[in-house]
Structures are given as structure tokens and as C-alpha cells.
Amino acid sequence: MSLRFKMGEAFPADSVLGKWMVLLSVLLNDLILANEHLVEALDRSGSSPSPEGVYFFRLTCSHFREAAKFLDCAHRQPQVKAFLEVLNSDARRDHDFVRSTFSPWQGSFVETTVKPIRDTFFHYPALGSIELKAALCELAMRETEVLLKGTRIHDVRAVFADEVGVRLALGHLGDDANIRVAIDRLTEVTTALLRFMDAALTEYFSRLPCGAVTPADKK
């Protein structure tokens, strides 16, 4: 089933609430995709995160960092605050839980864990960086490999690079146990955010004028 509507009727360009809902939906799409791959990668890897799991953890952290900034700014808008007050108690509880991971900012989960991981995800280190040298020194005695699954470039996996990348991204978290705790918390808060966004979108559409939204099989 799908719903059809004209963008201008559902999300007027001069409506703060409409623009908030559009951007919330962009976040919804991004987080659903990233979180789905993260959960699948973790299920395959067991207790110790695989390089693929770490990649999708870093990606989900990046989306969630941007979501935190967006939610924090939007929360100051009177139209958004008024809309949040009419949501059901479960949705408001999820929203408050998500906000607790970045507000207050000092010492928060997003400041201490998510933001540093986001920063390393989008910025490769300089050749002279202390972090790169430290990662290579730590791995100096590690026996590693290049994995060749076939003859195409897509069949090549530089496992040694994965191991360096994991330490660059997650080195401040320490050992695998701490990394797993961070992953579990991110998964928990991302799930709460997805529930909140689903509830908000449902409530928003229910408040549109009669006939603005129709099932796709009806004209």
C-alpha cells in the first residue's frame, strides 16, 4: 500500500512544521537503511564486531550525529514544540530519551562517543598524524591479509586496512567490550528515534485536510 499527495498540499514551503517533517523523513530513510545493515552485520559477526559491522556503526553514528543537531535546533521552534505536545506518551517518551543522549551536551553520549566517530568517518588522517602512527604501531606484530574472493576489483578486500580503520575510528573506546557497549546503546537510541519519527509522521498526516492524502489505487 502507498499514499499519494501533492507536495505543496502536504508540505507547504512556508510551513515550519512541514519543513521539519520533510527533514525528519529524510533522517528516517537514512537511519532505517544504515541501522538495518548494522543489525545484519552484527548478527553475522557475533560478539566481536566485524569490519563491515564497524563500518555501518560509523555510518549510523554519522547519521545520528546530524539527527541530534537537527532535533536540538528544531526543538526551539514554537510550532515544533506545540506539535510534540500532542503526540502520544510513548512517542514523547522516545523523543525525550533520544534528547537525553545529547542534551545537555557536555559529557553526553553524542559528544563523547558519536561525534568523534562521525569525525573520523568523514576525515581520513594526515600522513603525519599521531593517530595513524599509533594504529600502525599497535598492529605491527599482527598477521593480516588481502582477501581475494575472485578476479574482479569488487572481490578484493584489504583486511589490513579494515584493521587500521577500526582503530582510527574506535581507538578512543578501548577494547571490543567497550565498542560493543557503544554499539548496543546506539542501536537502542536509534530504534527509539525511528519509533518517534514513525509516530510523528503518522500524526502529521492524520492532521492534513480531508482528501489531501489518498491511497495510490484511488484517484
In this structure, what CATH number is given to the domain that contains residue 28? 1.20.120
Work out the average pLDDT over 184-201: 94
pLDDT digits (tens, 9 = 90+) for 55-64: 898 899 999 9
pLDDT at 47 (0 to 100): 61
Query: Is 60 within 8 Å of 186 (Cβ atoms)?
Result: yes
- Cα separation, 191 vs 199, in Å, equals 12
Query: Is 189 within 8 Å of 101 (Cβ atoms)?
Result: yes
Q: What is the pTM of this model?
A: 0.84
Query: Is 169 within 8 Å of 120 (Cβ atoms)?
Result: yes
pLDDT digits (tens, 9 = 90+) for 85-100: 999 999 999 999 999 9
31 found inside a domain: yes
134 found inside a domain: no
Work out the average pLDDT over 170-191: 83
Domain count for the chain, please give it.
Answer: 1
**Looking up cell 537525553, which residue turns up?**
100
166 found inside a domain: no
187 found inside a domain: yes
148 found inside a domain: no
203 found inside a domain: yes
150 found inside a domain: no
- State the residue range of the domain holding 183: 8-124+175-208
141 found inside a domain: no
- Cα separation, 95 vs 203, in Å, equals 14
